[in-house]
Amino acid sequence: MAISKARPSPLPLLSFQLLLTLSLLHPLHCCHASQQPIQHIAVLVLENRSFDHMLGWMKEAFNASIDGLNGTECNHRSTKDPNSPTICVSDDATYVDPDPDHSLQGIKEQVFGSDATPTMSGFVEQALTISEDVANIVMKGFKPDRVPVFTTLVQEFAVFDRWFSALPGPTQPNRLFVYSATSHGATSTDKKHLALGYPQKTIFDCLDDDGLDFNIYFSSAPTTLFYRNLRKLKYVRKFHTFGTFMDHARDGRLATLSVLEPRYFDIASDPANDDHPSHDVANGQKLVKEVYEALRASPQWNESLLLITYDEHGGFYDHVPTPNVGIPSPDGIVGPAPYNFTFDRLGVRVPTIAVSPWIKKGTVVTRPNGPTPNSEFEHSSIPATIKKIYNLTSDFLTQRDAWAGTFEGIVGELTSPRTDCPEVLPDVTPLRMTGAKEDSPLSEFQSEIVQLAAALSGDDYSSSSSFMTVKEADGFVNDAMSKFFQASKEALYLGADESEIVDMRY
């Protein structure tokens, strides 16, 4: 067996033999925290929307204890001029085309304005640097009936009204935090580094160390392959097309952890459902509906917990000041110049919803109870909670998941699973009146995925694909991913070491 090679830290051989012997005597599954009811966690991370934008208006509609909007929240056009006109929040968000700024510097201006503390005053001013249109859009939120799937889930299960992005930066660094509690120093998108893969240990490795299983379900390409470890041959059979999730749920074959990756490419026959502007939020709602209904109908429903969150706020307004006191750097790695970010602030608040028959109807979760007085819910709360629920033997991944709040308490209050959870969620009406723009050039995020697929399949991205449309990129990525998975499976079959990664360039 190749176990020792697959492990990041070299331990004495003796302890491996001991572990192996112990695991033969007691199948590992037997000993993991049996008094808590959850055996299957599913995580779905959507793209680029703030809490107030998606859920802020639910305070007025359903529960005054949700920290949402009351309509008096405004930003001045200039943070330096208190007499400048304001733009205030409104509940008429619909389909959004332009993509507001969510770079490290852009977010700093949104959060701090011209103040020294986070006052959430600079969203309008920062958006005005893009256009008048964007300045209007960033202050709009959805009326609850425009996002009917979330509206039902918030009323039936739990909403977190104080869950932040892990850093005030864009998509990929935040996505990296979700399963590894660090971005390994990334504060922006570093395509070369993404294509090579980030080296840190992940929660998947911790599960694997304890003999627990996980599956990753994806459309086009899985962003979890930005972690280099996940490219190892031993994990190749964990990746499945999205439809397989429905089969696994129906047949009671869900693993300890299921990762659900939305569709990032917008094709007429198969529209994107990641909620990233300009993609239609109605497709994200449909995706959540499908996932919920599959889980609700599953024989494993009574042992399941589904968490839905967003990688970052996408430039949309949120009124809750972002925490900036007592936030530990995950691993001491400092971000690149010129900002040299030390990971001492969290990002903007994002919508987070938890679903399980063990959650009391209409729960609103605010602050965690520790582990430190400054602890908050942020993306590192996901690996921290997985570790806690399954009593994993690995240490925390970084200082950040050791610090982040955990939410196992929300499934610890009832003595039996609820039987009144809806079987079907409301239907969703499209908000976008036009078709998918499949001939558009790629967004930054999409070109990162193309670069990943090119790197995995040994293709030269820079020469071949800089002029791809969304539709061409979708085809390219699908081909490249099947080549990579096929080659990995063949290498396994031929007896290659499980800890190896296939390199297709040779």
**Residue from 301, 310, 316, 343 in contact with ligand NAG (CB under 6 A):** 301
Least Å distance between CB 301 and ligand NAG? 5
User: Is residue 9 within the footprint of ligand NAG (CB under 6 A)?
Assistant: no
Enclosing H/E stretch for 159: strand 158-160
Residue type, 55: L
Reference 118, options 261, 431, 327; nearest CA is 327
- The label of the residue with tokens 């042992």 reads 303
Q: Which of 78, 363, 469, 478 binds ligand NAG (CB under 6 A)?
A: 363
Judged by CB under 6 A, the stretch of 96-104, 167-175, 283-291, 333-341 that binds ligand NAG is 333-341
70 belongs to the binding site for ligand NAG (CB under 6 A): yes
Q: Helix, strand or coil for residue 75?
A: strand
The secondary structure element, H or E, covering residue 236 is none
The yes or no reply on residue 393 touching ligand NAG (CB under 6 A) is yes
In whole angstroms, how close is the CB of 323 to ligand NAG at the nearest point? 17
Whichever of 33 and 268 has its CB closer to ligand NAG, that residue is 33
Q: Please tell me the distance from the alpha carbon of residue 353 to that of residue 364, in angstroms, as a whole number.
A: 10
Residue 217 makes CB contacts below 8 A (sequence gap 6+) with 240, 241, 242, 244, 245, 258, 259, 260, 261
If the CB atoms of residues 158 and 502 are measured against ligand NAG, the closer one turns out to be 158
Applying CB under 6 A, which part among 16-24, 39-47, 415-423, 446-454 lies near ligand NAG? 415-423
Count the Cβ atoms, other than its own, within 10 Å of residue 10. Answer: 8
| 95: three-class secondary structure by DSSP | coil
The answer to whether 65 contacts ligand NAG (rule: CB under 6 A) is yes
- Decide if residue 419 touches ligand NAG (CB under 6 A): yes
- Burial classification of residue 498, based on how many CB atoms lie within 10 Å of its CB (0-12 exposed, 13-18 middle, 19 or more buried): middle
Compute CA distances 109 → 22, 29, 75, 266, 495, whole Å.
Answer: 55, 49, 12, 30, 53
Please, which residue, 299 or 332, has the CB nearer to ligand NAG? 299
- Binding segment toward ligand NAG, per CB under 6 A, in 347-355, 356-364, 400-408, 461-469: 356-364
- Give dist(CA 310, CA 308) in Å, integer: 7
Contact yes or no for 167/384 (Cβ under 8 A): no
Q: Determine if 319 is a binding residue for ligand NAG (CB under 6 A).
A: yes
CA distances from 58 to 320, 332, 368 (A): 15, 38, 21
E-strand ranges in 347-459 read 352-355, 363-365, 377-378
Among 197, 362, 426, 475, binds ligand NAG (CB under 6 A): 362
Asked if 417 touches ligand NAG (CB under 6 A), the answer is yes
Residue nearest to ligand NAG (CB): 362
Q: 72 or 463, CB closer to ligand NAG?
A: 72
Given the complex with ligand NAG, which of 395 and 439 has the nearer CB atom? 395
- Based on CB atoms, which residue is closest to ligand NAG, 393 or 482? 393
Residue from 340, 369, 415, 463 in contact with ligand NAG (CB under 6 A)? 340
Please give the size of the binding site for ligand NAG, defined by CB under 6 A. Answer: 21
Stretch that binds ligand NAG, among 49-57, 128-136, 281-289, 295-303 (CB under 6 A): 295-303
494 belongs to the binding site for ligand NAG (CB under 6 A): no
**Nearest distance, CB of residue 223 and ligand NAG, angstroms:** 28
**Identified binder of ligand NAG from the candidate list 24, 416, 494, 506, rule CB under 6 A:** 416
Amino acid making up residue 477: V
* Structure token digits, residue 441: 């050039």
List the one residue from 299, 326, 370, 435 that touches ligand NAG (CB under 6 A).
299
- Residue 27: CB minimum distance to ligand NAG, A: 15
Give the contact letters, 11-40, x = binds to ligand NAG (CB under 6 A), - = no: ----------------------x-------
Closest C-alpha among 477, 109, 107, 445 to residue 275: 445
* Crossing angle between the packed helical segments 470-493 and 444-457, to the nearest 10 degrees: 30
For position 338 contacting ligand NAG by CB under 6 A, the verdict is yes
For residues 436 and 422, is the Cβ–Cβ distance under 8 A?
Answer: no
Applying CB under 6 A, the residues found at the interface with ligand NAG are 33, 63, 65, 70, 72-73, 299, 301-302, 319, 337-338, 340, 362-364, 391, 393, 416-417, 419
